[in-house]
Structure 1
Amino acid sequence: MKGGLLEARDEAEREALVEQGRLLFCQPCEFFFAAQRLDQLPPAERPEVAFCGRSNVGKSSLINALTGHHGLARVSNTPGRTRQLNFFNLGNRLTLVDMPGYGYAQASKSVKEDWQGLMFNFLRGRPTLRRVILLLDARIETKESDRAAMKLLTEAAVTFQIVLTKADSPKPYWLRQRQEEAAALVKAHTPAHPLVITTSSEQGIGLPDLRAELTALAEPA
């Protein structure tokens, strides 16, 4: 069975996709490469999914929660500390790419420009990149840097999927507003995947659905 949750015809098929996701993310996941420049990238071999978002959006925490390896991706209290692309091999079927965070206030202009240049060139030139997971913090409004990232992804013609993080924190009415806003952002950007997933790394909300989506992009078992 292949395909994302939107393609599931009934609840039984959806449950099967979720189970496939659980099995894949039970496999070993290991860091194997880091790159700060395009000429340092590893060979393009298996399908890749990149995780992108503002600094402190919970990107590393989400990767750790998805894989069940709590020390896999470094969680930093210093915004913008990660300045490189980190590659992780998931079961020899899928590569997870942890992209540098963007939008940190204290970053110099040159660093921000370097981020845009490196990310744009990586996004548009990587043949094995299947999707970018764009993380938005469910607790706060969409920032200008988020909109700039969506513009960059659109210009690079890369399929991206919005995932809301830290959904255990906001009040229900605010979370609904954020979900509605994310749905509107999807409609405004042609490359955006139609399914928005709401997650919490702390409580496990949405993780089975996100695993199922990512498994649909992986090499067959």
Structure 2
Amino acid sequence: MEIKNAEFIISNTDITKCPKPDKPEYAFIGRSNVGKSSLINMLTGRHALAKISGKPGKTQVINHFLIDKTWYLVDLPGYGYAQVSKTDREKFAIMIDSYLTGRPNLLCTFVLVDSRIEPQKLDLDFMYNLGERGIPFVIVFTKTEKLKSGALQNAKDRYKEKMQEMGWDDIPEIFVTSASANLGRKEILSFIQPLNEEFKSL
């Protein structure tokens, strides 16, 4: 699948104002500064579709982008950003939770993690909560161009080990990406395409 058109549709904090759920939808989320905006821009082939900032916590709303007039890519706020008030963090958590549980057309959530660091409790707990509620998700390793030889497999093994310790029988699929090296684009879009086709047949 090649993306020919990507356009911003709406930003909001209220899922009742999201677009009508008549198209397949995919959410992208991760800890602040994980490289989410860069990945979205790489996937869509648009340099400035998602706003990139050197300041963590830039995304604070639900952003809907319409891709090729047929499906939605959703940019969610990062979680775990410490430099906002506790009240704001709680608001973000409620907003994200209401979105993840309230969109019937959400086919998969892409959980982004920094491949260079050890598995973080915050990420693992977030994934565990998705699994507990039956929300489909996959794991996306970001910034893999900065890993030395052999470190990528070690990173995968560490995540699998930690998730198995938490009781996972089947480990979600892991995608390896690098926005700067344009890595992982084909694999993620190839994953999305058959889900789109399945949605159309419902």
TM-score (norm: length of structure 1): 0.82
Contact 2:124 2:163 in 1 (8 A): no
Matched ranges for 1:190-201 at <5 A: 194-201=172-179
Q: 1:194 to 1:146 in 2, by over 3 A?
A: closer
Shift of the alpha carbon at 1:192? 7.2
Any gaps of 5 or more consecutive residues in structure 2?
none
Q: Which residue of 2 aligns with 1:182?
A: 159
Q: Which residue of 2 aligns with 1:17?
A: none
Letter in 2 for 1:176: Q
What is the root-mean-square deviation of aligned Cα atoms in Å?
Answer: 2.0
Contact 2:15 2:102 in 1 (8 A): no
Identity of aligned residues (%): 36
Contact 1:32 1:87 in 2 (8 A): yes
Q: Which residue of 2 aligns with 1:204?
A: 182
Q: Which residue of 2 aligns with 1:148?
A: 125
Q: Which residue of 1 aligns with 2:109?
A: 132
Residues 1-29 of structure 1: CA deviation (Å, up to 9, x unaligned): xxxxxxxxxxxxxxxxxxxx2x3x2x201
SS at match of 2:144: coil
Letter in 2 for 1:213: F
Equivalences, count: 197
Structure 1 residue ranges, 4+ long, deviating more than 4 angstroms after superposition: 185-193
Shift of the alpha carbon at 1:104? 1.6
Q: Residues of 1 paired with 2:16 and 2:135: CA distance?
A: 21
1:69 maps to which of 46, 55, 76: 46
Shift of the alpha carbon at 1:153? 1.6
Residues 34-75 of structure 1: CA deviation (Å, up to 9, x unaligned): 111233222212000000101111101001001100100001
Q: Residues of 1 paired with 2:138 and 2:162: CA distance?
A: 11
Q: 1:186 to 1:144 in 2, by over 3 A?
A: closer
Contact 1:124 1:157 in 2 (8 A): no
